[in-house]
């Protein structure tokens, strides 16, 4: 059996990763979602193992020590990370798994899973990205400038990804990600093994019956 | 403007390249078809520039001498080849072009267009391929054996292609090739140029307005 594909969906803050990922999961019920581990408290309605794996700080640090996380980061005093075992188990079962993650985390995952399929979600234009960043609320210009410069830095990481998908419309972005998944399954490597086995058996059978 | 994609559809004899290519062209009217040049006489209903570019032997040899063909081969006393100029012109116009060709010719095209997208069409199984080869008519066992060994050799070239598509059903094979084309358009290289131009202009505008 072929291993599944690890699809990593990333992109600058505010580009709509979460929305696209949720829409994609609705369209592809067979696609497994990689649930993150976190030390932050569950919010109302959040379920263990569905939204997050909720961990104590000690449990999380133990996971770091055991190299049980593909990547982790601290954000506003809480840890967030990607449990390695669930990803590996899903792939070994021949199922595709999607990981929605910010750009720095995605590149850490790439170090451990270079064979992953790394998709960078782009805003329809940088002007539009700025609009989304500026239009969020009533923050100070300094905060907005900071968010913009972070987004520009993130955009510079694009070259390390395999694919870029413009999030002009959720439906269309989903279709392009589905096409990428289909195409990756067609990559020759995934077929060679089975084919050569069949080739061998056919040649033997053929020689046996004809000579 | 981005250059178009050169899609090369190939695969073992009898796998159904022509049928899949024709179906794909019906589904994707914007996809340009690379018309071959040949020295064989037109058959009833065949049109110049639609089915083939019909050439005299002298004209064809002149094309070879001018390196005006991406590949060429002689088959049953007639020349067949792929005119380079039409392919290059179409790509420069930003249009995708598909080339349906046997496996040796495809690999010659790859030498000149390594950036092409090389798709290998596979039979549902090698047993099925054998069925198609054997089931064709009333030829001698020797001829059948020869066809089978050619097909097996062709199959061995699979690793030099970018994608493998199983021709289990025409509709489904077409969908997978369409997905490959979409995914190839999402490859990061095709976006970088435009994006960095926009990034530069935004940074300038931003700095100008804020400072």
Closest residue on chain A to B189 (Cα): A159
Q: Choosing among A145, A188, A201, A202, which should be mutated to test the B contact, i.e. which has the most B CBs within 10 A? A: A188
Using a CB-CB cut-off of 8 Å, the residues of chain B touching A191 are: 122, 158, 164, 166
- B8 and B50 share a domain? no
How confident is the model at residue B19, as a pLDDT? 94
- B44 and B114 share a domain? no
Strand runs (DSSP E) across chain B, as ranges? 6-10, 32-33, 36-38, 52-54, 69-75, 78-83, 97-100, 117-122, 163-166
Using a CB-CB cut-off of 8 Å, the residues of chain A touching B187 are: 162-164
How confident is the model at residue B209, as a pLDDT? 45
Closest residue on chain B to A198 (Cα): B126
DSSP state for residue B73 in the 8-state scheme? E
Q: Taking an 8 Å Cβ-Cβ cutoff, which residues of chain A contact chain B? A: 119-120, 122, 125-127, 130, 141, 145, 148, 152, 155, 158-159, 161-166, 175-176, 178-180, 182-184, 186-188, 190-192, 195, 198-199, 202-203, 206, 210
Q: What count of CB pairs under 8 Å joins A to B?
A: 112
Q: Taking an 8 Å Cβ-Cβ cutoff, which residues of chain B contact chain A? A: 119-120, 122, 125-127, 130, 141, 145, 148, 152, 155, 158-159, 161-166, 175-176, 178-180, 182-184, 186-188, 190-192, 195, 198-199, 202-203, 206, 210
- A42 and A140 share a domain? no
φ, ψ at B131 (rounded to 5°) = -55, -45
**Cβ contact (<8 Å) for A187 and B198?**
no
Among candidate residues A95, A115, A137, the one where a domain is terminated? A95
Selected residue with higher pLDDT from A111 and A200? A111
- A9 and A87 share a domain? no
- B114 and B133 share a domain? yes
Using a CB-CB cut-off of 8 Å, the residues of chain A touching B122 are: 191, 195
- B24 and B40 share a domain? no
Gap from B63 CA to chain A (nearest CA, Å): 34
**Cβ contact (<8 Å) for A195 and B159?**
no
- A91 and A174 share a domain? no
- Residue A200, classified by CB atoms within 10 Å of its CB into exposed (0-12), middle (13-18) or buried (19+), is exposed
Q: Choosing among B188, B189, B210, which should be mutated to test the A contact, i.e. which has the most A CBs within 10 A? A: B188
Q: For chain B, which residues score pLDDT lower than 50? A: 208-211
How confident is the model at residue A75, as a pLDDT? 87
How confident is the model at residue B28, as a pLDDT? 96
- A129 and A151 share a domain? yes
Gap from B49 CA to chain A (nearest CA, Å): 32
Q: Domain limits at B120?
A: 1-31+96-211
d(CA A167, CA A176): 10
- B127 and B210 share a domain? yes
CATH number of the domain enclosing A8: 3.40.50.300
Closest residue on chain B to A206 (Cα): B145
CATH number of the domain enclosing B50: 3.30.63.10
How confident is the model at residue A156, as a pLDDT? 77
A200 contact partners, CB below 8 Å, separation of at least 6 = none
Mean pLDDT (whole number) for A164-189: 92
Mean pLDDT (whole number) for A17-28: 95
Among candidate residues B95, B120, B146, the one where a domain is terminated? B95
**pLDDT (tens digit per residue) in B149-181:** 777 777 778 888 999 999 999 999 999 999 999
How confident is the model at residue B208, as a pLDDT? 46
Into how many domains does chain B fold?
A: 2
**Residue among B90, B102, B130, B126 nearest B6 (CA):** B90
One-character DSSP codes across A50-79: TTEEE--HHHHHHHHHTT-EEEEEEETTEE
How confident is the model at residue A130, as a pLDDT? 66
- A161 and A174 share a domain? yes
* Structural contact between residues A84 and A67, judged by C-beta atoms closer than 8 angstroms: yes
How confident is the model at residue A201, as a pLDDT? 60
Residues annotated within a binding site of B for ATP: 11-18
Among candidate residues A75, A95, A115, the one where a domain is terminated? A95
- B146 and B199 share a domain? yes
* Structural contact between residues B184 and A161, judged by C-beta atoms closer than 8 angstroms: no
Which two tokens mark B129? 């391929």
Using a CB-CB cut-off of 8 Å, the residues of chain A touching B190 are: 164
- B136 and B201 share a domain? yes
Gap from B67 CA to chain A (nearest CA, Å): 31
Selected residue with higher pLDDT from A128 and A38? A38
């Amino acid at each position: 059996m072929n291993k599944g594909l690890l699809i990593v969906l990333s992109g600058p803050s505010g580009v709509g990763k979460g929305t696209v990922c949720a829409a994609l999961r609705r369209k592809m019920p067979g696609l497994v979602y990689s649930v993150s581990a976190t030390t932050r408290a569950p919010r109302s309605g959040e379920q263990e193992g569905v939204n997050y794996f909720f961990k104590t700080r000690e449990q999380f640090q133990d996971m770091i020590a055991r190299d049980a996380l593909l990547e982790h980061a601290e954000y506003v005093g809480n840890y967030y990370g990607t449990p390695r075992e669930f990803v590996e188990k899903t792939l070994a079962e021949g199922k595709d798994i999607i990981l929605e993650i910010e750009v720095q985390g995605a590149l850490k995952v790439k170090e451990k899973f270079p064979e992953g399929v790394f998709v960078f979600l782009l805003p329809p234009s940088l002007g539009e990205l700025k609009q989304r960043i500026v239009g969020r609320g009533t923050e100070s210009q300094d905060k907005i400038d900071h968010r913009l410069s972070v987004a520009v830095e993130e955009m510079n990481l694009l070259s390390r990804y395999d694919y870029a998908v413009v999030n002009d419309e959720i439906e269309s972005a989903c279709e392009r990600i589905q096409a990428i998944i289909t195409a990756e399954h067609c990559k020759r490597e995934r077929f060679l093994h089975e084919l050569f086995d069949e080739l061998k058996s056919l040649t033997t059978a053929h020689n046996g019956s004809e000579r």
